[in-house]
């Protein structure tokens, strides 16, 4: 008897090419366990969200406890202890100089909030500054504002009429960093933009493109010189991915506005925050209700999600967690090193716990023909690896073992032999 066809429309999925979905029954540590009895090693942290491992007992326990006390309440005019605790804890670990926390539900919405904060700031202090500066190849989400400040291309070609215009500066490729700095300085000086938004150190969906911390620091100084708000989108790079809790810390940079999500709850539940300086909040603080930051969702600061975030933040207080982070970064370097001289690959790179390498093919980029073949190859090896076209990247949960990583990189090597 044929399997009943699901009515679900899956994200970033071309159903004409991938009709059958893998049904996952449960998760534990670095593994996903399917309904047909397979164990799949999650080598990309389920889209970069799971930090300490699936179903971490401390996070699960916090969710269970909170669900029995308060599971939802309007957050306009009301507050609750889990949200207050999360706000206090996150300000304690975020770069110094960020003073206020706005809750939302996802990385995309945290970026929308950041853009509205920036535009609202200039509007409320009586200055017409509306232009946003972005970086080539960037990705900030799939809502309209987030798409507008991301790279234009296959992700958003159909939605062009909805998007607003931005100024784009080039990605700071090695030995071409000065061109990026020059163009940013030119844009800041001549266009009086409202803000510059950037993914610190690593551009995720744009191809796991990496650049050094000194470059981030220089870009921040250029923005400061022209009084341009600096927005750090750390939705992916936060929570240890680049080797420190937040990527901006490696450059000793405090953004004016910062976006955090994904690993905020350890990957257990959707939650996001946008942090900002006091003067950005103060520009919206008024007896005039027209100066309100008009943004919300029904589930803003959901208490159960906040309880998960509180448990995650408590885990980050443990020294063992930071030691584990350093250990994963070391193991990743040990595994990726042998590929640096491998002629089948190019641009072999690592930042913190993230590694990436480009399989040499006749076509490249997100729609490279090798991409679906690689994904199928890894699926057959019980590995969750989702290449960005011909770019293969590894971003595991921090509970991953040396044996797990050895299995992942052996499969990457075998894939090059099988599919080249």
Q: What is the pLDDT of residues 219-244, one digit of tens each?
A: 999 999 999 999 999 999 999 999 99
With H, G, I as helix, E, B as strand and everything else as coil, classify residue 345. Answer: strand
Q: What is the pLDDT of residues 279-307, one digit of tens each?
A: 999 999 999 999 999 999 999 999 999 99
Structural domains in the chain, sorted by start: 60-315 (3.40.640.10), 320-419 (3.90.1150.10)
Q: Which residues contact 305 (CB under 8 A, 6 or more apart)?
A: 265, 269, 270, 271, 299
Q: pLDDT 10s per residue in the chain (420 long)? A: 345 789 999 999 999 988 789 999 999 999 999 999 999 999 999 999 999 999 999 999 999 999 999 999 999 999 999 999 999 999 999 999 999 999 999 999 999 999 999 999 999 999 999 999 999 999 999 999 999 999 999 889 999 999 999 999 999 999 999 999 999 999 999 999 999 999 999 999 999 999 999 999 999 999 999 999 999 999 999 999 999 999 999 999 999 999 999 999 999 999 999 999 999 999 999 999 999 999 999 999 999 999 999 999 999 999 999 999 999 999 999 999 999 999 999 999 999 999 999 999 999 888 899 999 999 999 999 999 999 999 999 999 999 999 999 999 999 999 999 997
Distances (CA, A) of 103 to 83, 87, 260, 298, 380: 9, 9, 10, 11, 39
* Cα(384)–Cα(31) distance, integer angstroms: 9
> Maximum CA pair distance of the chain?
68
User: Residue 31 forms beta bridges with which residues?
Assistant: 28, 41
Q: Please say whether the beta carbons of 350 and 340 come within 8 A.
A: no
In this prediction the pTM is 0.97
Alpha carbon 330 to chain centroid, angstroms:
22
């Amino acid at each position: 008897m044929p399997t009943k066809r699901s009515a679900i429309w899956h994200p970033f999925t071309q159903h004409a090419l991938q009709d059958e979905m893998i049904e996952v029954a449960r998760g534990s540590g670095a593994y996903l366990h399917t309904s047909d009895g397979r164990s799949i090693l999650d080598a990309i942290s389920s889209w970069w969200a799971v930090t300490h491992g699936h179903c971490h007992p401390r996070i699960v326990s916090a969710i269970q406890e909170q669900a029995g006390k308060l599971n939802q309440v309007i957050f306009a005019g009301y507050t609750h202890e889990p949200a207050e605790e999360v706000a206090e804890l996150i300000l304690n670990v975020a770069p110094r100089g960020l003073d206020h926390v706005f809750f939302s539900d996802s990385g995309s919405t945290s970026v929308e909030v950041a853009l509205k904060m920036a535009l609202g700031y200039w509007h409320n202090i009586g200055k017409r500054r509306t232009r946003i500066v972005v970086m080539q190849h960037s990705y900030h989400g799939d809502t309209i504002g987030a798409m507008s400040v991301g790279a234009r291309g296959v992700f958003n070609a159909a939605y062009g009429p909805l998007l607003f215009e931005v100024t784009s500066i080039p990605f700071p490729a090695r030995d071409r960093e000065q061109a990026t700095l020059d163009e940013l300085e030119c844009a800041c000086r001549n266009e009086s933009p409202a803000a510059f938004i950037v993914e610190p150190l690593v551009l995720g969906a744009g191809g796991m493109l990496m650049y050094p911390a000194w470059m981030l620091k220089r870009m921040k100084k250029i923005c400061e010189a022209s009084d341009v708000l600096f927005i750090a989108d750390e939705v992916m790079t936060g929570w240890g991915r680049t080797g420190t809790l937040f990527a901006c810390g490696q450059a000793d940079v405090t953004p004016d506005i910062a976006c955090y999500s994904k690993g905020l709850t350890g990957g257990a539940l959707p939650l996001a925050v946008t942090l900002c300086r006091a003067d950005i909040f103060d520009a919206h603080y008024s007896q005039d209700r027209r100066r309100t930051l008009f943004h919300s969702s029904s589930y803003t600061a959901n208490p159960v999600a906040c309880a998960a975030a509180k448990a995650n933040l408590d885990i980050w207080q443990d020294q063992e967690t930071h030691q584990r982070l350093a250990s994963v970064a070391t193991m990743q370097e040990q595994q990726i090193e042998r590929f640096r001289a491998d002629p089948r690959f190019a641009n072999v790179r690592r930042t913190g716990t993230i590694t990436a390498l480009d399989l040499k093919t006749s076509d490249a980029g997100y729609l490279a023909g090798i991409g679906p073949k690689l994904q199928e190859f890894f699926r057959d090896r019980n590995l969750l690896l989702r290449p960005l076209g011909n770019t293969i990247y590894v971003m595991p949960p921090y509970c991953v073992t040396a044996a797990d990583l050895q299995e992942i990189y052996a499969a990457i090597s075998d894939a090059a032999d099988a599919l080249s």
